Amino acid sequence: MFNHFLLPVDDYTLEHADFARLSALAKRDSAKITLTHVSDPLPPTFYLQNGFGGDYITIPDHRRACESYATKMFRSVTERLAQGITIDNLHVFNGDVSEGILEAAKKSAADVILMTSHKRSGIGALLMGSETREVMAESRLPVLVL
């Protein structure tokens, strides 16, 4: 059905994704999986009013830290997926997570985006927002919520 899955990964994905089901889907379709992690391109101190926070980190140091974190995430997810699945990694720097996911989908030429849901409902879903909902609204690709 699909040949190339894009799976955004974060801490929530590591804890809640059904990797057995995801592996079965990929194997059934002989699909490739591209794992992506979206990091903010600017360190947190850039968002302070005066910009002179006590724990300043340079942009290059921030990027290296984000790359290291993304690599650890990719490794952890790869270990949880079944053997025999082709897996690529794509780290994207974007200040908006949903935009970053859509950018990764375009760069990787995925044909479906797989998202985990925080399963918020009612007022919580309205107030907290949802990256999954944003990706679903903005994507031209199908989005499968796991």
Edge-to-edge strand list for the sheet holding 87-93: 87-93, 32-39, 4-8, 112-115, 143-145
**Average pLDDT per block of 10 residues along the chain, 146 residues long:** 94 87 93 96 69 70 95 95 94 95 97 80 55 90 89
Cβ pair 34, 101 in contact under 8 A: no
pLDDT of residue 126: 53
pLDDT of residue 57: 79
Q: Which domains does the chain have, with CATH numbers?
A: 4-145 (3.40.50.620)
Look-up of token digits 């952890």: 76
pLDDT of residue 47: 57
pLDDT of residue 128: 43
Q: Considering the entire predicted model, what is its pTM?
A: 0.86
- The sign one gets for the Cα dihedral 7, 74, 58, 104 is negative
Backbone angles phi, psi at 143, to 5 degrees: -120, 120
pLDDT of residue 119: 60
pLDDT of residue 76: 95
Cβ pair 85, 29 in contact under 8 A: no
